[in-house]
Each structure stands twice: as structure tokens, then as C-alpha cells.
């Protein structure tokens, strides 16, 4: 197998999985800061919660935290522990990674769609990669 063949197959596979990579990167980014869960006075938008449920449980439904209230210990006191600075830094780093993965994937899709001679096949692979999981999810 020569390098041109490997590049072509890399493009085909990349176009097919790109929609899922972007989906998991973005829904994972939302989950880093628990924006998919109700806490305090915050209630997540229904779509955010449902998409996070797809990410975690592969179902398009409300997760177990839709109506969750503040967490309390056995004495009824809310947990006020703040995450350590290292935890916050790691969360922000992973957010940057998720966003960079999304941008990198978008560049890869652009390259795949413009550099492959078989443009129809490229578009079909991208479309299949987006519609196949959606069809399975909604079936």
C-alpha cells in the first residue's frame, strides 16, 4: 500500500467519522463544566441535556439530573467545596482541547472535500457519517 492510497483512505474514514468527532467534542465540552445538569438556580436547556444524554447514554432523552436540586450531606448542608485550582486549570485545558479538535476536524473536512477527486463520494461519506447515527438514534 503506497502513501497516496493511505492518504485517500484516511480522507474517506475522516469524512465519515467527522460529524461524530465534532458532536462528541462539543457535547463533551459542555459536560466539562456540568452545563448539562441542573444545579443551584441553573437549569440546562432541554436540548443541551438531551444531547449530553446521547453522549453519555446513547439515548435522546432527559438525563437523570433534569430536576436535580443542590446536593446536601446527611446534616442537610449543601456541599460548598470549591474545586482545586489544578482541577479548574485542567477543565479549561480540556475545553481548549475540545474546541481545537472541533476546528481541526472542520479543517480536515474542508481538506477532504476539496482535495479528493471523487467529490461525490466525499460528500456521501460526510452525509452518511451525519445521518447514520441520527437515524439509529431516532429509530
pLDDT tens track for 3-26: 999 999 999 999 999 999 999 999
pLDDT, residue 64, reads: 59
Q: State the first-to-last Cα distance of the chain, in angstroms, to the nearest integer.
A: 39
Under the banding of pLDDT at 50, 70 and 90, the label for residue 129 is very high
The larger pLDDT score, comparing residue 67 to residue 30, is at 30
Return the closest-CA partner of residue 116 out of 12, 44, 30, 33.
12
Under the banding of pLDDT at 50, 70 and 90, the label for residue 81 is low
Q: Which residue has the cell 473536512?
A: 109
Amino acid at each position: 500500500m503506497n502513501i497516496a492510497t493511505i492518504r485517500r483512505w484516511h480522507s474517506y474514514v475522516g469524512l465519515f467519522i467527522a460529524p461524530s468527532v465534532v458532536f462528541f467534542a462539543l457535547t463533551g465540552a459542555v459536560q466539562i463544566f456540568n452545563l448539562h445538569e441542573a444545579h443551584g438556580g441553573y437549569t440546562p436547556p432541554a436540548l443541551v441535556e438531551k444531547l449530553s444524554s446521547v453522549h453519555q447514554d446513547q439515548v435522546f432523552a432527559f438525563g437523570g439530573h433534569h430536576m436535580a436540586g443542590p446536593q446536601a450531606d446527611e446534616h442537610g448542608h449543601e456541599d460548598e467545596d470549591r474545586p482545586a485550582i489544578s482541577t479548574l486549570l485542567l477543565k479549561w485545558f480540556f475545553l481548549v482541547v475540545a474546541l481545537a479538535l472541533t476546528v481541526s476536524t472542520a479543517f480536515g473536512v474542508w481538506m477532504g472535500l476539496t482535495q479528493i477527486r471523487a467529490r461525490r463520494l466525499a460528500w456521501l461519506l460526510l452525509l452518511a457519517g451525519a445521518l447514520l447515527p441520527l437515524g439509529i438514534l431516532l429509530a
